[in-house]
Amino acid sequence: MTKIAVIVGTVYGAAQYVAEQAVAALSERNYDCQLFEDAVLDEVLAYNADIWLVICSTTGEGDVPDNVFPFYLQLKEQFPLLTNKHYAVIGLGDSSYENFCGGGEKFAELLAELQGTEVAPMLRIDAIETLEPELIALPWLQQHFTG
């Protein structure tokens, strides 16, 4: 069964909710998913997922939320090559800010540097356009995670 590590970065819970919905939907499609809420790199690596799915909102000025920042730093510092892994990023943001979806962008950049293979270009969800980000995320997952 294909294993997916779902890594969530959230401040107010929107990305968390999307991640929970994503885990439920992907599990129904026979993926083996684990949700990492305060991700620790060693634990994610030990899970040995085929795919890393990062669902990350944006705080400050295009920054990664505090709950996932340690993981982001560990990735940058330890730099584990993800050559045989796939990844996808769902970024949540608000286009009235200068660095729209900056948190997700930072992960997308880093995962590319780590030489993972992108499942699909990053999805950017704009809080100005929807109060229900899961309604955009779930069809996107259905399109790109075909089981």
Nearer to ligand FMN, 15 or 51 (CB): 15
H/E run at residue 69: helix 69-78
Rounded to a whole number of angstroms, the minimum distance from the CB of residue 147 to ligand FMN is 27
| In contact, 74 and 120? CB cutoff 8 Å | no
Tell me the C-alpha to C-alpha distance, in Å, between residue 116 and each of 14, 22, 69, 110: 26, 21, 20, 9
Q: Residues in the site for ligand FMN, rule: CB under 6 A?
A: 10-15, 57-62, 65, 92-94, 97, 99-102, 127
Tell me the residue nearest to ligand FMN as measured from the CB.
Answer: 93
Rounded to a whole number of angstroms, the minimum distance from the CB of residue 97 to ligand FMN is 3
Nearer to ligand FMN, 85 or 102 (CB): 102
Rounded to a whole number of angstroms, the minimum distance from the CB of residue 68 to ligand FMN is 10
Please state, in angstroms and rounded to a whole number, the distance separating the CA atoms of residues 28 and 136.
18
Please state, in angstroms and rounded to a whole number, the distance separating the CA atoms of residues 106 and 31.
26
